[in-house]
Amino acid sequence: MTSHFTKEGTPKKGYRTEAKAKQAAQVSWVINGAELQTYRCDFCHLWHMGKPFSR
C-alpha cells in the first residue's frame, strides 16, 4: 500500500522527517483540497505523502 513511486512510475518526493512531510501535506490540502496521508517508506526510509487507501 505504501509506495515509493508515483502512479507515473517516478520516485516520490521524500521528506527526512514526518513533521516536514505533514507540513507539505498540509500545504497540499490548502492548495488542492487533497487530503494526504504521510507514511514512512520501506524503500528509501524517507517520508512520503499519498492518498489514504485509494485502492
H-helix or E-strand spanning residue 29: helix 18-32
19 sits near Zn ion (criterion: CB under 5 A)? no
44 sits near Zn ion (criterion: CB under 5 A)? yes
Least Å from the CB of residue 19 to Zn ion: 17
49 sits near Zn ion (criterion: CB under 5 A)? no
Least Å from the CB of residue 17 to Zn ion: 14
41 sits near Zn ion (criterion: CB under 5 A)? yes
Which residues, 6 or more positions from 47, have their beta carbon under 8 angstroms from its beta carbon?
14, 15, 16, 17, 18, 20, 21, 38, 39, 40, 41
